[in-house]
Amino acid sequence: MKTCEEVMTPNPVCCLPTDSVKRAAELMKRENVGPIPIIENEQTRKLVGIITDRDLVLKVIAEGRDASSTQVESVMTRKVVSCRLDDGFQIAMDLMSEHQLRRITVVDKDNVILGIISQADIATRGDRPEKTAEVVKDISQSA
């Protein structure tokens, strides 16, 4: 069975809590990603939250906030579901199913961001197509 390290996309691009949501959106566009992990600072890279393209739509655009002056920390999700580098890939898939997440962060024992696992990573790097289909179905079902 593969580990999270074998399946994750390493070194994801990150934002700081004080960055503007406009910067987060620009990074999403440039990197072609939906989530941006939020780190405490560039030195520690300790994970403190995550912001998604959905957050930007629902919490910024739909509420009429200014993207240039709204800080990431005011719209990010603070309770991030994560797995560890050496966790079995099954743990990541179970967490994604349980919490209906399209992506999960990979952290070390000090909560330092190391990578991210997305549905695409599961589909292309996972070794169990039947489990992949089940996870995608679980994630997509409404709560």
Q: Residue 42's beta-bridge partner residues? A: none
pLDDT for position 2: 86
Number of CB atoms found within 10 A of residue 127's CB: 11
pLDDT for position 89: 86
pLDDT over 90 at 36, yes or no: yes
Percent of the chain, pLDDT > 90? 71
Number of CB atoms found within 10 A of residue 84's CB: 16
pLDDT over 50 at 143, yes or no: no
pLDDT digits (tens, 9 = 90+) for 68-92: 999 999 999 999 999 999 999 889 9
Q: What φ, ψ does residue 52 adopt, rounded to 5°?
A: -120, 165
* Cβ atoms 115, 4 nearer than 8 A: yes
Closest to 53 measured CA to CA, from 69, 75, 70, 71: 75
Percent of the chain, pLDDT > 70? 87
pLDDT digits (tens, 9 = 90+) for 112-141: 999 999 887 877 776 665 665 666 666 666
Q: Which CATH number fits domain 4-140: 1.10.3210.10, 3.40.50.410, 3.40.50.300, 3.10.580.10?
A: 3.10.580.10
User: How many angstroms separate the Cα of 59 from the Cα of each of 2, 6, 9, 33, 77?
Assistant: 36, 34, 27, 18, 11
